[in-house]
Structure 1
Amino acid sequence: MAHHAQLGFQDAASPVMEELIHFHDHALMVLFLISTLVLYIIVATVSTKLTNKYILDSQEIEIIWTIIPAIILILVALPSLRILYLMDEINNPHITIKAVGHQWYWSYEYTDYEDLGFDSYMIPTEDLVPGQFRLLEVDHRMVVPVETPVRVLVSAEDVLHSWTVPALGVKMDAVPGRLNQTAFITSRPGVFYGQCSEICGANHSFMPIVVEAVPLEHFENWSSLMLEDA
């Protein structure tokens, strides 16, 4: 099986990540147009001999090159602020999960259930089966129902960690003694990988995060089995 290098973002698996990708494309297009204009002005200035050494100032030009950048900044800032508020908004979550960072693994507690919790360790390379990703697969995945508002309470047991899943547009620092919260909605079933994004020690790169989004009935079956095993 051929593997191709990923040059851009991961495919969006949540509405927030879709918004982030759209904003990235919007900002990149603005940057491209500005760079093209600046390059054209530089080339035109260097290559032409049509200059007037008696022009010392021009109020009109100064007004234009002050107003246009201000408008461009507003066009970039407004969508950015909108996404910031969307990312910070948590409305009526259907399920709450507490993710606690340890050196060097994650533990998850489903607070809506009485005894549903487990530790999530990275699977060593020698124990992987064909199709699993090295340094990314875990023995117990965090399972969530698809198209359901999920709140994640993030904390740490020892040092700073960061609970990050790029495909879901989620990144929240795990601070000892502090409870941070974030939320997401998975827009499709799938398995989404992340890693601790804080330099938390020697095995910082070996505490991956795996979120598996499944239909609601599958999630109910999984939670029942986990409670029976507990």
Structure 2
Amino acid sequence: MAMFHRTLTVLAALGSLALAGPAMAGDGQPSPWQITFQESATPVMSQITDFHTYVNIIITLIAVFVLALLVFVMARFNEKRNPNPSRTSHNTPLEVIWTVLPILILVAIAIPSFRLLFAQYDFPKADVSITATGSQWYWTYEYPDEGIRFDSIMVPEADLKEGQPRLLAVNREVVVPVNKNVVVGLKSNDVIHDWAVPSFGVKLDAVPGRLQQTWFRAEREGVYYGQCSELCGRNHAFMPIAVRVVSEAEYAEWVAKNKSAAVETDGKVAAVRD
């Protein structure tokens, strides 16, 4: 009886943890004791989350089925209950089943997987274009259509303001309008970096000598954080990404302000700095 009560207690605790998981998922940044994805802010990330849940259900069902088979075999075919073991060498119907069934499971996983890949790499028409260039150890952003360029550098812990997360806050945030398609071109000045924003479902390498592209459409206003996710050297852990999603009116105001702050030098737009 004591063992039964302890088992119920453990199951109840696990159930509570599972139900609390979504609440612990950060919106735009990680949260203490988080065990799930960050809250989705884009259609692609929502699709990633759904696919993750779908595959986990399949994995759980397979694990439970295999466990049940193991328990059945141990109980039915142990030496005590089955002193004379079967000499069966094969069973054609069973072999067909355990060949066909895994194929069907793989197909059931592959179809939504291909659909997700298509959503990630079939770029819509860009409403905003940004180029992100990785350097050791900061990001440089350019808005080619607006003539805006700036460096984004991590805020030291001693200079953090209230509400700014440690190791994630930057001196200049990327600003984009809500519900608009943003295409990001990725480059690198030195080694391989990686531009990753979990809430957007975006993670792509910035490779020297190559222009990579990704996209997102943020559906909620707010600040969303990410980090360089490719080991790029000594200060790899101090190369954060911050994207501020604002209304169209705020974005137009930001563009106008930063355009007026840019200085024309030899026909080139100088970097805008605070």
Indicate the structure whose relative CO is greater, using CA pairs within 8 Å and at least 6 residues apart: 1
- Say which of 202, 212, 215 aligns to 1:183: 215
Q: How does 1:125-204 map to 2 (within 5 A)?
A: 125-204=157-236
SS in 2 for 1:143: strand
- 1:90 and 2:118 correspond: no
Q: Distance in 1 between matches of 2:259 and 2:157?
A: 29
Q: Distance in 2 between matches of 1:127 and 1:74?
A: 52
SS in 1 for 2:187: strand
SS in 2 for 1:200: coil
Q: Distance in 1 between matches of 2:217 and 2:119?
A: 12
Q: Distance in 2 between matches of 1:179 and 1:82?
A: 24
Q: Distance in 2 between matches of 1:192 and 1:154?
A: 18
Q: Distance in 2 between matches of 1:180 and 1:54?
A: 59
Q: Which residue of 1 aligns with 2:132?
A: 99
- 1:118 and 2:150 correspond: yes
Query: How much does 1:122 deviate?
Result: 0.1
Q: Distance in 2 between matches of 1:201 and 1:4?
A: 27
TM-score, normalised with respect to structure 1 = 0.96
- 1:17 and 2:45 correspond: yes
Q: Write out per-residue CA displacement over residues 33-78 of structure 1, whole angstroms, 9 at most, x where no aligned residue.
A: 0000000000110111466614322111111111111100000111
Query: Which runs of no fewer than 5 residues in structure 1 stay unpaired?
Result: none
Query: How much does 1:4 deviate?
Result: 3.6
Q: Write out per-residue CA displacement over residues 172-202 of structure 1, whole angstroms, 9 at most, x where no aligned residue.
A: 1101111111111001111110000011000
Q: Which runs of 4+ in 1 moved over 6 A?
A: none
Q: Distance in 1 between matches of 2:57 and 2:124?
A: 33
TM-score, normalised with respect to structure 2 = 0.81
- 1:216 and 2:248 correspond: yes
SS in 1 for 2:230: coil
Letter in 2 for 1:219: Y
Q: Distance in 2 between matches of 1:221 and 1:54?
A: 81
Query: Which runs of no fewer than 5 residues in structure 2 stay unpaired?
Result: 1-30, 263-274
Q: Which residue of 2 aligns with 1:71?
A: 104
SS in 1 for 2:243: strand
Q: Which residue of 1 aligns with 2:11?
A: none
Query: How much does 1:224 deviate?
Result: 0.9
Query: How much does 1:5 deviate?
Result: 1.8
Q: CA RMSD in A?
A: 1.4
Q: Distance in 1 between matches of 2:87 and 2:236?
A: 63
Identity %: 42
- 1:206 and 2:234 correspond: no
Q: Kindly tell me the number of residue pairs found equivalent between the two proteins.
A: 228
- 1:27 and 2:60 correspond: no
Letter in 1 for 2:63: S
